[in-house]
Copies of this chain bind each other. A is one copy, B any other.
Amino acid sequence: MHTPGPIPHADVPQLAASLAAQLRARSPRVHCITNAVAQNFTANALLAAGCVPSMTLSAEEIGAFVAKADALLVNLGTFDRERRKAADIAIVAARENSVPWVLDPVFVDRSPPRLEFARMLIARRPAAVRLNHAEFTALAGAGPTRAAVMRYAEDHEVVVALSGAADFVTDGERAVTVANGDPLMAKVTAMGCAGSALLAACLALERDALRAAAAALVILGVAGELAAATSEGPGSFAVAILDRLHGLDAPALTTHAKVSE
């Protein structure tokens, strides 16, 4: 008989606080295959949180980078031949070196070849996939109801982190809802990509992908809430969230975390 694990949401705020501190103390290396629009902000978000980002896409060298990395992000934005080839090599290197990886299937609802490629990647077992409602619908062929998302996660043995007004994270059996964040996050390009990179960074330190994903969403969401409080618009918000990621401490995270089942 299958025994579900303990309800995971109760300890997510403490885990977020612990991981935020560990990111700074241990500086995991996170290799990112990501789109050109997002590379700079993603690198800065990882640096602000304490990580060491790398971004090369070159077929000759990405294997060496991933082999020495602690986590890998594969983001499908502005997805060209070079990035597809890089992803292929990187995923092989990740498997060989037990490096956990995250898939961010940006805009698969807008491009049939990208959707097909994303499905092929899902079959290669990322630890987690992070996407929005339209992307989930395209990928799963069904709307993002709670049941459909849990079934998809179970069927594909992947943690799904579905972003939305509240974020929903599930491994098919357990589920966590994270209600942190601010509407300005949707007005800054690459904010979702940076979130997926932080998820990869948390996976480097916490191999339970459900808990790592929930903690990463708390970290980004709380940083976003604190940043919004001092911002005048999306420009100053994008700056402030980097400052907040850099300075996040346990009291801020445990006080502001909004985690439920």
- What is the interface of chain A, defined by CB distance below 8 A to chain B? 35-41, 43-44, 47-48, 53-58, 60-61, 64-65, 68, 77-82, 107, 110-114, 186-190, 231-236, 238-247
Contacts and interface: CB of A to CB of B under 8 A. Distances in A.
A234 B47 CA distance: 9
23 contacts: A36-B39, A37-B40, A40-B189, A43-B190, A44-B238, A48-B235, A55-B77, A56-B78, A56-B79, A56-B80, A56-B111, A57-B78, A61-B111, A61-B114, A64-B111, A231-B243, A233-B244, A234-B246, A235-B243, A235-B246, A236-B239, A238-B242, A239-B239
A203 B80 CA distance: 28
A68 to B, nearest CB: 7
A239 B235 CA distance: 5
Contact of A48 (B80, B82, B234, B240): B234
A37 B207 CA distance: 28
A242 B233 contact: yes
A255 B232 CA distance: 21
B57 A80 contact: yes
Contact of A56 (B107, B242, B243): B107
A48 B242 CA distance: 18
B58 A81 contact: yes
A8 to B, nearest CB: 30
A232 to B, nearest CB: 5
